[in-house]
């Protein structure tokens, strides 16, 4: 039976997407890649894959459903991936099929070209993939998967350039949307970020070798030194001679995903020179300034609400307490839960610290509200435990628009904030008060002292603002209506 990994009790969160990792110039690179993927597991738990190369055995790959620790630790598997050059990918499907046939969608993808093979791993989502795919199929391409990322391989195959990095540049100039790509040839490790730099990608040094990772926490686990981020719109090509930098795209103002700061990235990672933990704590500080309330305790909804709750407590002077305890082993406890177990819902994952909560006015700090169903259940649990009042404080603005850049979001009709005012949401969830941080407050927390510049915002914040930095052309073709210009 396929292990149950998609966390149905977590289905009220936006789901990030994918993580990518690569290493060159280190013996048994695949082992380092597996460790890096393990550190990036929060970016995708459904499946993972590694491609490795060495001159004697050529390219080898392993692709599996499930966690890295269950698939890429046994010597039998890892011995099939020899070489000093390897890349890996962890996946939560945002494009492509899910289910029993989806192993064909597990990355990295591999293509054999006249000048040698190449493998790619992609984090993000291509917003014109459907149109490109139609065009490529009409011109004779035969797709092996349903993933948007495979378009890149086919576009590379059709390029007339003489080497693989140049073919990648050609291919990536045709795609739109968000992409942080890690790729490899027989001799080179390549990293590319889209012109807006929507998704993260960093460079590390390990001994005489190099590493590329979605986040710095992937470098930490292998003992690599963080060198710098791959810049928005930059391609780095790394081989035994060192690292070369190219800027193959027209320059545009960067629009990094602001939700990486709020929720997706690990709190021990560094983004844009800032500690993710510290940014989240600062969000709590801003939230307490914007939406104070008289109460006895500040409690996080674990784990992602924790740094913001600490910041809220520090700013407000209201004591911080662990009012809700999370069962860390949820994802591995159940194989296809029965209906009876499903009905227990959020209680399987979270439990209230009753002795602490009884009779108290409680501020609950959570990172986001998506459908609102989990917020409602948590409120019920807190009231059942005897809380006198429940106040929700949310560390992101209302999520009113879907993401098309590599995050799994419900359609707009299912987003609570797309259909209700803040007061209506408060009443529907059933709490004494509900407040979200403002977009300006969020920008202040990420270091933009003046808040959001509406004419030139520094981040992608489309899921809050409806201001999409790249038009989602496939979705528009399918009937998606953009926000009217104001
Ligand atoms: S729409 Fe939201 S989640 Fe998606 S890239 Fe933009 S800020 Fe990030």
Question: Going from the N-terminus, what domains does the chain have, and what CATH number goes with each?
Answer: 16-255 (3.60.20.10), 281-446 (3.40.50.2020)
Mutate to test the pocket of ligand 1, among 200, 396, 400, 405 (most ligand atoms within 8 A of CB): 405
Q: Strands 47-54, 58-65: parallel, antiparallel or unpaired by DSSP?
A: antiparallel
Instruction: List 58's β-bridge partners, or say none.
Output: 54
pLDDT on residue 357: 95
pLDDT tens digits, one per residue of 52-88: 999 999 999 999 999 999 999 999 999 999 999 999 9
Inter-residue contact 382 to 431 (CB < 8 Å): no
Tell me the C-alpha to C-alpha distance, in Å, between residue 29 and each of 26, 82, 83.
5, 8, 6
Inter-residue contact 65 to 46 (CB < 8 Å): yes
> Whose C-alpha lies nearest to ligand 1, atom 5?
257
Higher pLDDT, 7 or 254: 254
* Element housing 473 (H / E): helix 473-477
Stretch 124-143: mean pLDDT: 95
Residue 199 Cα: closest atom of ligand 1: 5
Tell me the C-alpha to C-alpha distance, in Å, between residue 61 and each of 86, 88, 295.
9, 10, 55
Inter-residue contact 285 to 314 (CB < 8 Å): yes
CB burial of residue 380 (10 Å; 0-12, 13-18, 19+): middle
Q: Is the CB of 370 under 6 A from ligand 1?
A: no
Q: Of the segments 5-9, 123-127, 372-376, which one has the largest average pLDDT value? A: 123-127
Question: Helices marked H in 348-451 — which ranges?
Answer: 354-357, 373-384, 416-419, 422-429, 439-445
Q: Is the CB of 415 under 6 A from ligand 1?
A: no
> Is the bond preceding residue 303 a cis peptide, omega within 30 degrees?
yes
Mutate to test the pocket of ligand 1, among 179, 462, 466, 482 (most ligand atoms within 8 A of CB): 462
Distance from Cα 71 to the centre of ligand 1, integer Å: 30
Q: Which tokens is 188 given?
A: 């080179």
Inter-residue contact 88 to 22 (CB < 8 Å): yes
- As a whole number of angstroms, the distance between CA 355 and CA 246 comes to 59
Residue 4 in this model has a pLDDT that exceeds 60: no
In the predicted model, what is the mean pLDDT of the chain?
A: 92
Whether this prediction's pTM lies above 0.85 is answered by yes
Inter-residue contact 179 to 124 (CB < 8 Å): yes
Q: Which of 38-47, 91-100, 172-181 has the lowest mean pLDDT?
A: 91-100
What radius of gyration, in Å, describes the C-alpha atoms of the chain?
A: 23
> Whose C-alpha lies nearest to ligand 1, atom 8?
257
Q: Which of 18, 151, 217, 299 is catalytic?
A: 18
Q: Detail the residues annotated as belonging to a binding site.
A: 257, 304, 366-367, 403, 460, 463
Residue 456 in this model has a pLDDT that exceeds 90: yes
Confidence of residue 331 (pLDDT cuts 50, 70, 90): low
Distance from Cα 185 to the centre of ligand 1, integer Å: 31
Residue 94 in this model has a pLDDT that exceeds 90: no
Distance from Cα 119 to the centre of ligand 1, integer Å: 27
Inter-residue contact 184 to 22 (CB < 8 Å): yes
Residues whose CB falls within 8 Å of the CB of residue 329, separated by 6 or more in sequence, listed in order:
none
| 18 in active site | yes
Stretch 174-187: mean pLDDT: 97
Q: Is the CB of 105 under 6 A from ligand 1?
A: no
Rounded to a whole number of angstroms, the distance between the first and last alpha carbons of the chain is 51
Distance from Cα 177 to the centre of ligand 1, integer Å: 11
- For the chain, helix (H) and strand (E) counts, in that order, are 19, 25
Inter-residue contact 302 to 364 (CB < 8 Å): no
Residue 112: phi, psi to the nearest 5? -100, 120
pLDDT on residue 348: 74
Q: Is the CB of 461 under 6 A from ligand 1?
A: yes
Higher pLDDT, 341 or 413: 413
Residue 170 in this model has a pLDDT that exceeds 90: yes
Instruction: List 85's β-bridge partners, or say none.
Output: 24, 53
pLDDT tens digits, one per residue of 18-60: 999 999 999 999 999 999 999 999 999 889 999 999 999 999 9
What percent of the chain lies above the pLDDT cut of 90?
85
pLDDT tens digits, one per residue of 100-124: 447 899 999 999 999 999 999 999 9
Residue 462 Cα: closest atom of ligand 1: 1
Distance from Cα 407 to the centre of ligand 1, integer Å: 7
At which residue do the structure tokens 């059933």 appear? 430
Stretch 198-208: mean pLDDT: 97
Closest CA to 9 of 313, 226, 281, 327: 327
Distance from Cα 403 to the centre of ligand 1, integer Å: 5
- As a whole number of angstroms, the distance between CA 145 and CA 106 comes to 9
pLDDT on residue 342: 55
- The sign of the dihedral angle between the CA atoms of 132, 188, 95, 12 is negative
Mutate to test the pocket of ligand 1, among 126, 265, 439, 463 (most ligand atoms within 8 A of CB): 463
Q: DSSP character for 108?
A: P
Q: Is the CB of 460 under 6 A from ligand 1?
A: yes
Question: Helices marked H in 52-159 — which ranges?
Answer: 68-71, 75-78, 129-138, 150-158
Stretch 355-377: mean pLDDT: 95
Q: Is the CB of 463 under 6 A from ligand 1?
A: yes
Mutate to test the pocket of ligand 1, among 403, 457, 469 (most ligand atoms within 8 A of CB): 403
pLDDT on residue 347: 74
Residue 263 in this model has a pLDDT that exceeds 60: yes
How many Cα atoms occupy the beta-carbon half-sphere of 482 within 13 Å? 16
Distance from Cα 460 to the centre of ligand 1, integer Å: 6
Burial 91-115 (b: 16+ CB within 10 A, else e): bbbbbbeeeeebeebbbbbbbeeee
pLDDT on residue 191: 98
Q: Strands 270-271, 274-275: parallel, antiparallel or unpaired by DSSP?
A: antiparallel
Residue 71: phi, psi to the nearest 5? -120, -30
Q: DSSP character for 7?
A: -
Q: Is the CB of 24 under 6 A from ligand 1?
A: no
Q: Is the CB of 259 under 6 A from ligand 1?
A: yes
Q: Detail the residues annotated as belonging to a binding site for [4Fe-4S] cluster.
A: 257, 403, 460, 463
DSSP result, 322-373: --EEE-TTHHHH-SS--HHHHHHGGGGTEEE-HHHHTT-EEEEEES--SSSH
pLDDT tens digits, one per residue of 266-307: 999 999 999 999 999 999 999 999 999 999 999 999 988 999
- As a whole number of angstroms, the distance between CA 96 and CA 114 comes to 28
Closest CA to 363 of 373, 377, 378: 378
Instruction: Count other Cβ atoms within 10 Å, centred on residue 329.
Output: 9
Q: Is the CB of 405 under 6 A from ligand 1?
A: yes
Residue 13: phi, psi to the nearest 5? -125, 150
Confidence of residue 8 (pLDDT cuts 50, 70, 90): very low
Closest CA to 78 of 66, 61, 91, 65: 61
Closest CA to 39 of 224, 240, 277: 224
Inter-residue contact 338 to 271 (CB < 8 Å): no
């Amino acid at each position: 039976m396929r292990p149950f990994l998609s966390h149905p009790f977590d289905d009220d969160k936006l789901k990030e997407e994918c993580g990518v990792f690569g290493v060159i110039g280190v013996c048994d690179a695949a082992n380092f890649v597996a460790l890096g993927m393990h550190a990036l597991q929060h970016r995708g738990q459904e499946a993972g894959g590694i491609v490795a190369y060495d001159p004697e055995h050529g390219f080898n790959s392993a692709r599996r459903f499930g966690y890295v620790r269950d698939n890429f630790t046994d010597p039998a598997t890892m011995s099939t991936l020899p070489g000093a050059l390897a890349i890996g990918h962890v996946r939560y499907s945002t494009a492509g099929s899910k289910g029993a046939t989806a192993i064909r969608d597990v990355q990295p993808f591999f293509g054999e070209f006249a000048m040698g093979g190449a493998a790619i791993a992609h984090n993000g989502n291509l917003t014109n993939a459907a149109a490109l795919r139609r065009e490529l199929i009409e011109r004779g391409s035969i797709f092996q998967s349903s993933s948007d990322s495979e378009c890149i391989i086919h576009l590379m195959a059709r390029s007339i350039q003489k080497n693989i990095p140049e073919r990648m540049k050609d291919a990536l100039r045709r795609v739109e949307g968000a992409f942080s790509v890690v790729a490899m040839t027989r001799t080179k490790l390549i990293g590319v970020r889209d012109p807006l730099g929507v998704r993260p990608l960093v460079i590390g040094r390990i001994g005489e070798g190099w590493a590329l990772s979605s986040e710095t926490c992937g470098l930490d686990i292998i003992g690599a030194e963080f060198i710098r981020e791959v810049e928005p719109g930059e391609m780095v090509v790394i081989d035994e001679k060192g690292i070369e930098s190219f800027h193959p795209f027209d320059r545009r103002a960067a629009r990094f995903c602001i939700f990486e700061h709020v929720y997706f990235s690990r709190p021990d990672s560094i983004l844009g020179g800032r500690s993710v933990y510290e940014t989240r704590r600062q969000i709590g500080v801003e939230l307490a300034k914007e939406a104070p309330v008289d109460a006895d305790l500040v409690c996080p909804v674990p784990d992602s609400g924790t740094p913001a709750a600490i910041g809220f407590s520090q700013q407000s002077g209201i004591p911080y307490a662990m009012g809700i305890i999370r069962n860390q082993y949820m994802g591995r406890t159940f194989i296809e839960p029965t209906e009876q177990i499903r009905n227990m819902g959020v209680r399987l994952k979270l439990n209230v610290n009753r002795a602490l909560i009884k009779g108290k006015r409680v501020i609950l700090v959570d990172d986001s509200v998506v459908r609102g169903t989990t917020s409602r259940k948590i409120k019920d649990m807190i009231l059942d435990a005897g809380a006198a009042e429940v106040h929700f404080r949310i560390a992101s603005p209302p999520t009113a628009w879907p993401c098309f850049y590599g995050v799994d979001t419900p359609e707009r009709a299912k987003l609570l904030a797309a259909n209700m005012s803040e007061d209506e949401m408060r009443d529907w969830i059933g709490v004494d008060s509900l407040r979200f941080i403002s977009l300006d407050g969020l920008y202040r927390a990420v270091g933009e002292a003046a808040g959001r510049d509406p004419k030139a915002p520094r981040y992608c914040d489309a899921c809050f603002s409806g201001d999409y930095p790249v038009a989602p052309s496939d979705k528009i073709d399918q009937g998606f209506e953009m926000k009217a210009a104001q």
